[in-house]
Amino acid sequence: MMSDAEFQRWTRLVTVQQDLVTPIRTILDYLEILCDDVRRLALPDVLEHLDKATAAARCLDEIVGRLLDSDGPLDMDAQREFGGSQAKLRHELRTPLNAIIGYGELALEDLPPAPAAEKLRPELEKLLGEARRLIACINALGKFGTGAEPGADDPAQTVIADLFRTLHPDRPETRGCEVGRILVVDDNEANRDLLRRRLLQEGHQVELAQSGRQALQMLEKEEFDLILLDLIMPGMNGIEVLERLKSDQRLYQVPVVMISGLSETDAVIRCIEAGAEDYLPKPFNLVLLRARINACLERRRWRGREQEYLAKLKIAKDRSEALLRNILPDPIVLRLNEGETIIADRFEQATILFADIVDFTPAAAKMAPAHLVGELAEIFSAFDDLALRLGVEKIKTIGDAYMAATGLPSPRADHVEVMAEFALGALDVLGSINRDGGTDYRIRIGIHTGPVVAGIIGRHKFIYDVWGDTVNIASRLESHGAPNRIQVSEPVRNALAHRYEFEPQGALTLKGRGQACAFLLVPRQHVRC
């Protein structure tokens, strides 16, 4: 590992290199564009100057490219030789740079006065501007390697200090190390043993596999946080193992770091494309190995947290949706989830039922609150179960009254028959409750069929409700009915006459509706609820 002094020196070296590389690449790009334009305009004298400037720029690029070499002039001992080496370097850099500026100025002077050639003048001036700025960067090399602390008024030195602070390997916040269970897959026994020792020293749990097939067998039974996978193995190579892992729904999220003696770019690209998290060439740089394992394990830990968070979100969403489905029909919940905000529909054929417990109000006055709620809950819960079995839509309870509908929110052709079955079933259910509980509850039921409007009403405590004359008439039929009898309108009787028997009740005077014929549905023993 580099010492502080070595790391700081390396940081400054990289920064200086970047300061030089960027303008040189800009100069080369300008020259390439200018040469193309000059060839197109057939200006041989200008092209000759630009070709020489391009050669000088390439020479300059090669010199800078050697800056980070171990034997490069900037990497010498700062205390002993750096000053002299730096002076030599500045001389080497200035020579081709002066050539670029000189040939650029000659090209500018030789531009013919033609309008097309004049368009090249701004580009040539940009080229010369970049070259002159590069001279300032070369002069700044005088501060490199002096050991002086960065000055607050020196932007270049401040950048170096920031980079040093960010990249320094001994920063306290980077000392923490993720540990995990790691599977090492390598056909070479020495490599496996070496990796195992290194990883154990870092605190990891380590398992070894000597082939891809053995690794896949182990992964079927055990869980790992990370796989170090050799690329070249007999029988099944690393890419084939990797493809198997990434096609397995249980294993595809386990990070895989490929390890190989191959350092060719094509091999790296192939592994990354196949789903590898990273690629480490052999022999390993231990610092790099530790950093990449740490990064992979940290990413896996965050993925795990993300999965836990998403699972909790799903549970909360499912609970919320289940609660919503308790108060709204499923199709309405679906429309709300899809973003529909105003839900109001007209149904030309729907059937409405009202059921009211006879004399419940005076009886309730003598009950304790818990007993009252318990009695209503038992009756209406039984009605709810019956409605669910038959596909009847419970609309709401109003005190001791129960309102239901059929034919909405999804239209159905048998809406009248289904409601009749529900009414008959409600009488049977109430009879069972009375027999089991020793009570004597009785209900009046009214049913009417016709057009209605249904929709969501309210903003916070909303409800799916139904409106229209059909609702009002069904309510009036119930209030004018008899205990434990089902009173229906003439349209209901007509729709069910083929299946049920009815007792005529003559014309009733319904409040707000005038005269209307009513009938009592006769229960039949063979009717099943």
DSSP string over 502-524: EEEEEEEEETTTEEEEEEEEEP-
DSSP character at residue 328: S
Distances (CA, A) of 259 to 211, 271, 338: 14, 10, 48
Statement: residue 131 has pLDDT above 80: yes
Percent of the chain with pLDDT over 90: 40
Residue 77's pLDDT band (cuts 50, 70, 90): very low
The pLDDT of residue 69 is 57
The pLDDT of residue 86 is 62
Residue 461's pLDDT band (cuts 50, 70, 90): confident
319 or 161, which is more confident:
319
Percent of the chain with pLDDT over 70: 83
The pLDDT of residue 1 is 53
Statement: residue 426 has pLDDT above 70: yes
Using DSSP's 3-state secondary structure scheme, residue 445 falls into strand
167 or 3, which is more confident:
3
pLDDT tens track for 143-197: 544 444 444 455 555 655 665 555 555 554 445 567 899 999 999 888 888 888 8
The pLDDT of residue 136 is 75
Mean predicted confidence (pLDDT) in 18-43: 86
Residues with Cβ within 8 Å of residue 96, at least 6 apart in sequence:
56, 57, 59, 60, 63
Statement: residue 227 has pLDDT above 90: yes
Burial state string for 454-488 with b = 16 or more CB within 10 A and e = fewer than 16: bbbeeeeeeebbbebebbbbbbbbbebbeebbbbb
Q: Whole-model pTM?
A: 0.51
Statement: residue 268 has pLDDT above 70: yes
Statement: residue 117 has pLDDT above 70: yes
- Taking the alpha carbons at both ends of the chain, their separation in whole angstroms is 82
- Residue 156 in tokens: 């270049």
- The C-alpha atoms of residue 499 and residue 505 are separated, in whole angstroms, by 19
Mean predicted confidence (pLDDT) in 429-443: 91
How many residues are present in the chain? 529
Q: Are the C-beta atoms of 16 and 157 separated by less than 8 Å? A: no
Q: Are the C-beta atoms of 187 and 233 separated by less than 8 Å? A: yes
Mean predicted confidence (pLDDT) in 437-455: 93
Residue 442's pLDDT band (cuts 50, 70, 90): very high
Statement: residue 390 has pLDDT above 80: yes
The pLDDT of residue 303 is 85
Mean predicted confidence (pLDDT) in 35-47: 91
Q: Which residue has the tokens 């171990």?
A: 70
- Residue 525 in tokens: 């023993």
Mean predicted confidence (pLDDT) in 39-61: 91
